[in-house]
Structure 1
Amino acid sequence: MCDATPVPGQFTLVLHSHLPWLAHHGRWPVGEEWLYQSWAGSYLPVFDMLRRLADDGLRDVMSLGITPVLAAQLDDPHCCASMYEWLADWQLRACEAAVSREDTRRVLGTREYRSAAAAMRDFEQHWRHGASPMLRRVADSGVVEILGGPLAHPFAPLLDPRLRRFSLSEGLADAHARWGRRPRGIWAPECAFAPGMEAEYAAAGVGHFMVDGPTLHGDTALARPVGDTDVLAFGRDLQVSYRVWSPKSGYPGHGAYRDFHTYDHGTGLKPARVTGKKVPGHAKKPYDPQRADAVIDRHVDDFIAHIRRRLIDESARIGRPALVVAAFDTELFGHWWHEGPIWLERVLRRLPEAGVRVGTLAGAAADGFVGEPVDLPASSWGSGKDWRVWEGPQVSHLVQLNAEVTETALAALDKLVVPGAGRNRVADQIVRETLLTVSSDWPFMVSKDTAAHYAVTRAHTHAHATREIVDAALSGRDREAQRLSHNWFRADNLFADLDARRVPPAMAAGRAESI
């Protein structure tokens, strides 16, 4: 057990929930299956945990980012119906394993059937008609601070300023429409930053955002106002965050935890534990939840002890109570790390018992965990902590594609959007397809060689849609442009409230860039 003597400062956990738009763009091995696996593995148990914490009276336990493009999928009727079918299929696959003559597979099937049935009940009760009603209740309970973000998760520093500001303002408006609140904090896609973006955040009403630790040169013990604005940058403490998961190590790699990569190919279930880093899949031992449970507790105690030491050391270093921020992708907890949601709940419950104050980013700002102003460098949380993942030579073709499509789209908007005129659905769809083209996910997947072909195909699909709509619209083929816009919109059914009239005009963008 950890020492329970109170320590100075505050610990803040931040989770970033994001997937690119996957609906109607393939199913397996990449496509909607990714959404449903993450939904079942991470979003269901994490929000179930938050509801329990709220019911037990806990408040301000963490900050939770949900990107607009993920929120749209969790509300989408097609995705909700398909998720229900996915859960039913999980039950059927588990049932098949449960009646096997082979003992290990039968035990696996019985355990998975119970998990699938519980997930189905949770989904029917809380998610069946979309995530937003449930998310509103969680947010209204005060258990979390909800963070927003730009509309379709672009790598903002490389995006034309007009689209960058539009994407952010629309993303915050989308959050307000879904959850009845406009977030004051955001998780910028990829924690990417370019000098000057703080002014855009201030103009959009953003009060705080996340950066990676090296952006603040590792000094993350306090939030920092950026430039001459009041916008605060919170830095991810890598010493603490990497304790859980880093590019090289972390708790999920323990031999007792369920192995993510090993499947029972007859049922698609995951039967094995990690066993060892160099053990091939066929030689891995069967997963044992009881064995894993004891390890979870050890890792909870280790993490809490590490937070205590970090708070004590950082508070002594800066001469005042310090802030420690650990930040992760939500999908780590459950989807990638099966035991992650259990570990997470135990950590959040035990931290106060161990003398650690827990709070949100907004709470930290309100309570004065703020240092001196700082000028931030160009940065991200990707490899090298710079922009190489999104603009390196391996993705130069996507960088060029994004620039060409953006230029084409904005030039078309300047001709199609008439001041004072009504809404132009053709222009709306041009903007929508452009934002889907420049999603940060596509270059990331190429750079990391994770479904690179899928990523390139997606980028070029949306680029093609942009170009053919623009071509028809600017060639005077109005009916064809309307038909194309209607059909491409129906293909995704995404962000119906997007209005191209709100894209800043070219002259206004030019004035802003000169400031």
Structure 2
Amino acid sequence: MPQIDKPKIVLMVQSANTLFCYYNISPITLKEFTDKYGEGSLQNSKAALKVYSVDNGVEKELQTIFIDPFADNWYIHLDKGDIDVFVKLGRYLENNTFVEFAVSNIVTTPRLGESEDRRVYYIDVSEQQIPTKDNNEKREDKQGAFMKKGYVALVLHSHIPFIRHPEKEDALEERWLFEAMSECYIPLIGVYDKLIDEHIDFKITMSITPTLMAMLQDPYLNNKYIVYLKKSIELSEKEIVRNKNNKQLSKLAEFYNERFNNIYSIYKKYDYNLMNAFKKFDKLGYLEIITCSATHGLLPLLSVNPETVKAQLAIGIQYYMDIIGHEPKGIWLPECAYAYSLDSVLKEFGIRYFISENKAIVNASQRPKYGTYAPISTSNGICAFGRDMESSYQVWSSFNGYPGDYNYREFYRDIGYELPMDYIAPYIDKKGIRIDTGIKYYRVTGNTENKDYYNREMAMKKAKEHGEHFANSRHNQINTVSRNMDEVPIIVSPYDTELFGHWWFEGPNFIYEFIKKSSEQWTSYELTTPGTYLEEHPFVQCSRPCPSSWGENSDYSVWVNPSNDWIYRDLHSCGGKMIRLANTYKEPDNLEKRALNQAARELLLAESSDWSFIIKNNTTVQYAAQRINTHIERFNKLYEEITNESIDEKNLCIIEDLDNIFPNIDYKLYRSIN
């Protein structure tokens, strides 16, 4: 399958005002240019980008940008949003003639502000009826009686990228999973079980990404987690002895010992597989588990190859069904990143709703009548539930959010960094790198290095106060908004699950207190899930969500910027190659099929949005870049071996063992979309 060496330009949206493009002009193209326009024509001409909008098939030139002739990418700044845009790449001759080399794909930029279109249409998402302008009588019949004034939906997004490294003796990154299991997932399971034991009826939503599901069930990782947890217990026992003459520290050491043993008991109760617990809660109706794309790829930035977006969704949804046992009602789009192109593919896979950033709703068109207090529906019946900012700030805000309370545990003081190396060495990285052990003896205290000892009783008192305050705030919020609505309002509060327990140690206790308080009769709201809400209130305003994400500035700039934009040339190239493989190999033999499926796995793993996020935030940059490059290299090697009919089975076996996610993957999902 020969590659055609021709100029190419790819255009991507970063924000409403900024586009990113990358391009290539081959030496062959430049020679043809010189041959046609004469010797010296390159030196005497100027490289340029011509930017056009398209409206109802009519092209309009917006600007011409003269670019560095040695650059292979460029950022384009626009004066307005909500337009269809494409770019031409070429050179201006001395006589001002533009010689075109390549034309980009068309992209649609997000809306900059609220829509002026205030028309209101409703769609019955249960029956997928045509939107109608006024259906109030029918809507009331459908909704029926409801005793409370509104709903609150707590949505927890549970995700860790695929970090399985059997080739390493002690992979630091695997601890990301182990810490989340000990600090977040198992404590939450304990909270859910406690609420059930206390006969408290509740509903909560969790997305559990396919990568996390795979790791939670992986025998290798679970065996390593048992070793990790037993070492935590052992260290806490040593800490009890070490601190026997310090009353406060001795009490804290005993607390950690009891905590680690309780974590182990819960883990053992569910047969060393946390998905057993989550499936139980789902079956009992307390938990609504929603899905995500296969490896958390940021879909709008992959949409240059629509087949790769479809494969991310198809593989993720199928894996969900394989594990959970039924179809998902909703999806957490990775990074809440929405684009118009997702509507049809979400519909194809039977997704009823997705969680979105506030801007997706507020800037939607037509303008949503009730902002984020009610879902909106695309014209094909896919509903968007927008993030409520008031409840988000109460938890997320670095200035006045609950986690910053002085009585809560200080995250950045861990004995792994503070105790003598000869003592702590068996419980940190084997290469002697100091890391967190999970035993932290100090509280936030304030903006000072002189921290006070952590007081668990006081912290629990604060968690109770904050849980009750959060419940009261939602009660008052529902009371206020319901007065001006002829629909039942819903407050959607989405968070990263890992906030609760990892960054905010007392977070699971806060959730327990909030849910318990919410079950009391005085509250104006009822806890629900988005799926349940749509079943009970299927008439939804029809509106077009605005492309957005829940990242900084509510756009895609965290995942495409000068620090990480280099990844997309390779990702898109490999995506195109994967499509060609799927189109070409219709009846492969067994070895070819294995190689094709593994190539798909490598592409998926390279596409994870986590890598570009890590690079942007300058944390474990080397690891993130290495992961991208490793999966790209493995993919390209497999591609060459498949197309040259020279598959190295021994090497394939090694890669299959390392990157063993999605055992039932089908490479044919990458075949071209007609």
Which of the numbers 474, 497, 503 marks the counterpart of 2:664? 497
Q: Which has more radius of gyration? A: 2
Q: CA deviation at 1:352?
A: 2.5
Which of the numbers 209, 215, 222 marks the counterpart of 2:374? 222
Q: Return the alpha-carbon distance in structure 1 between the equivalents of residues 281 and 182 of structure 2.
A: 18
Instruction: Give 5+ residue unaligned stretches, structure 1.
Output: 1-5
Q: CA deviation at 1:166?
A: 1.6
Match of 2:409 in 1: 258
Match of 1:273 in 2: 443
Match of 1:84 in 2: 226
Query: What SS does structure 1 have at the residue aligned with 2:638?
Result: helix
Instruction: Give 5+ residue unaligned stretches, structure 2.
Output: 1-146, 364-370, 425-436
Task: Kindly provide the amino acid, as one letter, of the partner of residue 148 in structure 1.
Answer: T
> Which has the larger strand fraction?
2
Task: Kindly provide the amino acid, as one letter, of the partner of residue 106 in structure 1.
Answer: S
CA contact (8 A) 2:482 2:489 kept: yes
Which of the numbers 478, 489, 494 marks the counterpart of 1:327? 494
CA contact (8 A) 2:151 2:490 kept: yes
Match of 1:286 in 2: 453
More displaced stretch, 300-309 vs 86-95: 300-309
Question: What are the equivalent positions in structure 2 for 1:76-475 lying under 5 Å apart?
Answer: 76-101=218-243, 102-103=245-246, 104-128=248-272, 130-159=273-302, 160-217=305-362, 219-226=371-378, 228-246=379-397, 248-264=399-415, 265-266=418-419, 267=424, 268=437, 269-276=439-446, 278-280=447-449, 283-353=450-520, 354-355=522-523, 356-368=525-537, 370-418=539-587, 424-475=593-644
Which of the numbers 136, 160, 166 marks the counterpart of 1:19? 160
What is the CA deviation profile of residues 245-289 of structure 1, one whole-angstrom value per residue up to 9, with x for unaligned ones? 13554111111000111112335321110111x212xx2111001
Q: CA deviation at 1:420?
A: 11
Q: CA deviation at 1:401?
A: 2.6
Q: If the length of structure 2 is used for normalisation, what is the TM-score?
A: 0.70
The aligned length equals 495
Query: What SS does structure 2 have at the residue aligned with 1:72?
Result: helix
CA contact (8 A) 2:388 2:493 kept: yes
Which of the numbers 180, 188, 193 marks the counterpart of 1:46? 188
Q: Return the alpha-carbon distance in structure 2 between the equivalents of residues 195 and 422 of structure 1.
A: 39
Which of the numbers 158, 162, 176 marks the counterpart of 1:34? 176
What percent of counterpart residues are identical?
A: 25
Query: What SS does structure 2 have at the residue aligned with 1:328?
Result: strand
What is the CA deviation profile of residues 443-502 of structure 1, one whole-angstrom value per residue up to 9, with x for unaligned ones? 011112221221111111111111111111212213x1x333321110132111111123
Q: Return the alpha-carbon distance in structure 2 between the equivalents of residues 473 and 457 of structure 1.
A: 24
Match of 2:101 in 1: none
Task: Kindly provide the amino acid, as one letter, of the partner of residue 142 in structure 1.
Answer: G
Q: Return the alpha-carbon distance in structure 2 between the equivalents of residues 55 and 148 of structure 1.
A: 27
Q: Return the alpha-carbon distance in structure 1 between the equivalents of residues 239 and 265 of structure 2.
A: 21
CA contact (8 A) 2:359 2:546 kept: no
CA contact (8 A) 1:220 1:235 kept: yes
Q: CA deviation at 1:377?
A: 2.0
Task: Kindly provide the amino acid, as one letter, of the partner of residue 373 in structure 2.
Answer: A
Q: Return the alpha-carbon distance in structure 1 between the equivalents of residues 516 and 655 of structure 2.
A: 47
Q: Return the alpha-carbon distance in structure 2 between the equivalents of residues 45 and 191 of structure 1.
A: 25
Query: What SS does structure 1 have at the residue aligned with 2:481?
Result: helix
Q: CA deviation at 1:52?
A: 2.8
- Which fold has the larger relative contact order, with Cα–Cα distance below 8 Å and residues 6 or more apart in sequence? 1
More displaced stretch, 90-99 vs 215-224: 215-224
Task: Kindly provide the amino acid, as one letter, of the partner of residue 464 in structure 2.
Answer: D
**Cα 1:237/1:30, change in 2 over 3 Å:** farther
Query: What SS does structure 1 have at the residue aligned with 2:354?
Result: strand
Query: What SS does structure 2 have at the residue aligned with 1:487?
Result: helix
Q: Does 1:484 align with 2:644?
A: no
Query: What SS does structure 1 have at the residue aligned with 2:559?
Result: helix
CA contact (8 A) 1:44 1:123 kept: yes
Task: Kindly provide the amino acid, as one letter, of the partner of residue 275 in structure 2.
Answer: S
Q: Return the alpha-carbon distance in structure 2 between the equivalents of residues 51 and 168 of structure 1.
A: 31
Task: Kindly provide the amino acid, as one letter, of the partner of residue 9 in structure 1.
Answer: G
Q: Return the alpha-carbon distance in structure 2 between the equivalents of residues 241 and 445 of structure 1.
A: 23
**Cα 1:212/1:357, change in 2 over 3 Å:** same
Q: CA deviation at 1:29?
A: 8.1
> Which has the larger helix fraction?
1
Q: Return the alpha-carbon distance in structure 2 between the equivalents of residues 53 and 254 of structure 1.
A: 25
Task: Kindly provide the amino acid, as one letter, of the partner of residue 210 in structure 1.
Answer: I
CA contact (8 A) 1:139 1:145 kept: yes
CA contact (8 A) 1:60 1:145 kept: no
Q: CA deviation at 1:56?
A: 4.1
Task: Kindly provide the amino acid, as one letter, of the partner of residue 462 in structure 1.
Answer: H
Task: Kindly provide the amino acid, as one letter, of the partner of residue 443 in structure 2.
Answer: R
Query: What SS does structure 2 have at the residue aligned with 1:99?
Result: helix
Q: CA deviation at 1:41?
A: 0.3
Q: CA deviation at 1:409?
A: 2.7
Q: CA deviation at 1:7?
A: 5.3
Q: Return the alpha-carbon distance in structure 2 between the equivalents of residues 144 and 48 of structure 1.
A: 14
Q: Return the alpha-carbon distance in structure 1 between the equivalents of residues 257 and 232 of structure 2.
A: 8
Q: Return the alpha-carbon distance in structure 1 between the equivalents of residues 539 and 355 of structure 2.
A: 14
**Cα 1:369/1:383, change in 2 over 3 Å:** farther
Match of 1:3 in 2: none
Q: CA deviation at 1:306?
A: 1.2
What is the CA deviation profile of residues 11-61 of structure 1, one whole-angstrom value per residue up to 9, with x for unaligned ones? 111111000011117687840011000000000011122223334444551
**Cα 1:274/1:10, change in 2 over 3 Å:** same
Query: What SS does structure 1 have at the residue aligned with 2:459?
Result: helix
CA contact (8 A) 2:165 2:171 kept: no
Q: Return the alpha-carbon distance in structure 2 between the equivalents of residues 44 and 116 of structure 1.
A: 11
Task: Kindly provide the amino acid, as one letter, of the partner of residue 205 in structure 2.
Answer: S
Q: CA deviation at 1:292?
A: 0.9
CA contact (8 A) 2:161 2:212 kept: yes
Q: Return the alpha-carbon distance in structure 1 between the equivalents of residues 171 and 592 of structure 2.
A: 39
Q: Return the alpha-carbon distance in structure 1 between the equivalents of residues 653 and 478 of structure 2.
A: 55
